Amino acid sequence: MQLEIRERTIGEVTVLDLIGKITIGDGSVQLRDAVNHLLEAGRNRIILNLGGVTYVDSSGIGELVSRFTTTKGTGGKLKLLNLPKKIKDLLMITKLLTVFEIHEDEQAAIESFQ
């Protein structure tokens, strides 16, 4: 299964529910396109819900960092929600866990933009 992205808007915040794999090729390109589309529309308060992500390769990690940097460059914020243990461990090993703002609770993540 490749990556499926479902978009929800809650007030000023856009939540992207990611389901499947973020890997080199389709998955990372889909993620890049989805975030860029939001930024072009002026929507730069973004939460990536990774609860449904089953696998992330090095390209996927690179894309997460790239989207984080791009969003920050627009004056916005990109936050991560519901990290599966494997992905959390991967971010810890790569020392990227401290780069991202990570939440376990969606309401708390949304409120953190206030």
Domains annotated on the chain, with CATH:
4-107 (3.30.750.24)
pLDDT at 77 over 80: yes
Residues 25-49, mean pLDDT to the nearest whole number: 95
The helix (H) or strand (E) run that includes residue 46 is: strand 45-56
CA–CA gap between residue 93 and residue 60 (Å, rounded): 15
Helices 58-73 and 26-40 cross at an angle (nearest 10°) of 10
pLDDT at 1 over 80: no
25: confidence class by pLDDT, cuts 50, 70, 90: confident
Radius of gyration of the chain (CA): 13
> What are the backbone dihedrals phi and psi of residue 51, each rounded to the nearest 5 degrees, phi first?
-55, -30
